[in-house]
Amino acid sequence: MLAYRRGEAGAFEALYARHKGPLYRFVLRSVKERALAEELYQEIWMRVIESRGRYAVQAKFTTWLYTIAHHRLADHWRKRGLQLVDAQGADAVGHRSFEPEPRAEGRQDLQRLAAALAALPELQRETFLLHEEAGMTLAEIALATGATQEAAKSRLRYALARLREALGDG
Amino acid sequence: MADTERDEKVAAGYRALRSEEPPRALDEAILTAARKRPSQWRVPLSIAAVLVLAVGVTLRMLPQRPEAESVALAPQVMQTPRPAASAPAPARELARPAAGAEAAAEVAAADALAESQMRSDIAAKPTSRASAAPAPAPAAAGVGAETNVPAGKMAKAELSPQAWLERIAELRKQGRTREAEESLAEFKKRYPDYRVPEPPR
């Protein structure tokens, strides 16, 4: 990012190539509507581009990127009248217009896993995705989402329990 | 990740689900935006800022313009033909402010007509109306003399410059000198280029 800030366009392309898939899936699985996901995904990258002049090395680029993504998604939920709250015992609500298509063997298991992931409360799903897609540690997740490390750990634990259950392993 | 519990089965299952990638067009749009140098962003931003300022200033000035136009073009408005029967109606309304809604609507309609004609006049003849020779006073001009409306107000609403001056002369004849002077002052303010004949000594 520092190289990009200095004007090296190639540096951005390398960053983009590394993070585009995980960030896209993170947004897609968060909002579950492809068109909306694409819009938000583009906005997040635009913010990265616009903020390049203010970028300072305080954390990994990944943490910075997903902090921007977290704030953009929080704005989105706020506009839709939804709040991101911990709902550790509750069932998730909302429509599910996007379900990933399983492609490997054990199709039924994967379909159950996808459905369980889509049904997770927002914060638990976000934590799980930051962990699995972005490869972030609990400390990084806490930093990006503005939560305590304990809260992040708790969310991840609940998410994993539900997903294990969906795979018949609970 | 050492600082949390890890579930390999869930992780493997999730990896099997990961197939989505952003569309190529979206990649291109983002990469194109990223290639633009900061200076390319600053120029349109400065232009936008200047435009916003200009629009803001114009909007602040707008409420003052119609007044100025109506002052300069008042005589022309009064030259627009009106049906003979309805011509004195506005004057009557001025004399009796408590009149019914129907008459008020008529006045409003007449005003709207006058305004639209005034605006078409503005477009057709942008030169100063005040210096042009005044047209003969319309039928409505004489009505003011039969009412109790102050001469200045009546002139502002109804009279042509010539009729206004006649009204001022009439006031003088009646010995209402103060009213005549006030009306004349207002006349001069409104038609600064109009040649006003000296009052008879």
| Residue B166 near residue B199 (C-beta atoms within 8 A) | no
Q: Find the closest chain A residue to B23 by CA distance.
A: A38
Separation of alpha carbons A64 and A81, rounded Å: 26
Q: Which residue among B4, B17, B26 places its CB closest to the CB of A113?
A: B17
ipTM over 0.85: no
Instruction: From A163, A130, A148, select the one nearest A63 (Cα to Cα).
Output: A130
Residues in B touching A117 (Cβ below 8 Å): 14, 17
Beta carbons within 8 Å of A133's beta carbon, 6+ residues apart: A22, A23, A25, A26, B18
pLDDT at residue number B187: 87
Q: Which residue among B9, B16, B35 places its CB closest to the CB of A102?
A: B16
Q: Which residue among A45, A53, A138 places its CB closest to the CB of B38?
A: A53
Model's pTM, two decimal places? 0.50
Most confidently modeled of B37-46, B67-76, B152-161, B192-201?
B192-201
Separation of alpha carbons B145 and B151, rounded Å: 8
pLDDT tens per residue, range B118-158 = 444 444 444 444 433 344 444 333 333 334 444 445 545 56
Mean pLDDT of chain A: 83
Q: In chain B, which among 53-82 make CB contacts under 8 A with chain A? A: none
pLDDT at residue number A124: 95
